[in-house]
Amino acid sequence: MAEKKEKIMIGIDLGGTGIKIGLVDSAYGILAQTSIPTQAERPYEQVIADMGRAAAGLLKDHGYETEDCLGVGVGSPGTVDSENGVVLYSNNIRWDHVPLAAELQKYLPLPVYVNNDANCAALGETVKGAAKGCKNAVFLTLGTGVGGGVVINGAIFEGGHPGGVELGHIRIAAEGRRCTCGRMDCLEAYASATALIQDAKKMAKEHKDSMLWELCGQDLERMDAKMPFDAAQAGDPYGQILVDAYILYLADGITDLANIFRPDIIVLGGGICAQGDKLTEPLNRYLKENCFGAAVSYVPQVVTAQNGNDAGIIGAASLVGTA
């Protein structure tokens, strides 16, 4: 008699450079994974064919049949019509109205769920990660840009129309910084890793006596988002100014989101989160002081994401697990 297998899920993280594919169990443990290059310049049919074949191959290689799977979740960059599984547009992979779910089902005859990658990461942290067990969470990712996702009642909140929940694109200051979206002074223009690096370069250039100038090896092009934190930690006043300002910008964005969504928890993702308490401790202090009605109402805790490199696969699979 054949051993009765628990149903598994397939999580696919579609990126600009590579596609990560994982087999995930019901506790969101990754059983097996593989990755293939995206080569996004090709017709989308070829990209999706490779994706589907690689996933089918991964299943087979690990002794699973299609019937052993509950479904496939795909996290995609850009704006997604999740109801129809269509990637409406993505600058990252240059897709325009690509019927990802329908196309992928040619290779994987399973339910396919597609959502924006940051939305998936948000949901993923609520099924396994920093927000596990939380029904309501705001997830903010601090990277090249500032993205995010919102989980309400255990499901991804998508707003009324595709293009909503652009958490990095709320106005947060008034220094006249042009955001990548074209508007002035969005959170992204202050709280992305890119913004912090820009600020650090400027500071190092103007203050050659700063430790920043040493940390980047006197080459501004080598500046990264960790260096201001390292300089501040080592007592460099210029590093401290950068870190304090960065945290204040971020704190204001987080406070806005707490006042709007009042979630159980606020989860920060992206490389800057390696700073841990150095980041979350002052953010939580600011939120406790500035959140609307903080004296009488629930103030969410700010924490760092836990799914790390697995966030893409777990997040995509969580679309299946919570469907």
Binding to its own copies by residue 261, rule CB under 8 A? yes
Which residues, other chains included, contact 271 with Cβ-Cβ below 8 Å and sequence gap of 6+?
142, 143, 193, 225, 226
Provide, rounded to whole angstroms, the least separation between the CB of residue 291 and its own copies: 8
Q: 60 or 135: whose CB is closer to its own copies?
A: 135
Rounded CA separation 61/270 (Å)? 32
Give yes or no for residue 169 binding its own copies (CB under 8 A): yes
CB of 158 to its own copies, least distance (A): 8
Residue number with CB closer to its own copies (110 or 137): 137
Give the contacts of 229 (CB within 8 A, at least 6 positions apart).
239, 243, 275, 278
Q: Using DSSP, state whether 290 is helix, strand or coil.
A: helix
Q: Is 10 helix (H, G, I), strand (E, B) or coil?
A: strand
CA distances from 252 to 111, 187, 258 (A): 40, 9, 10
Give counts: helices (H), strands (E), the chain: 10, 13
The interface mask with its own copies, positions 206-235, x = CB under 8 A, is ------------------------------
Q: Which is nearer to its own copies, 89 or 107 (CB)?
A: 89
Q: Does 42 bind its own copies (CB under 8 A)?
A: no
Question: Does the protein bind its own copies through residue 172 (CB under 8 A)?
Answer: yes
Phi first, then psi: give them for residue 34, nearest 5 degrees. -150, 170
* Shortest distance, position 53 Cβ to its own copies, whole Å: 31
- Please list every residue from 66 through 105 that binds its own copies, using CB under 8 A: 79, 88-89
Question: Which residues form the interface with its own copies (CB under 8 A)?
Answer: 79, 88-89, 135-137, 152, 157, 159-167, 169-175, 181-183, 252, 255-256, 258-264, 289-290, 292-293, 296-298, 300
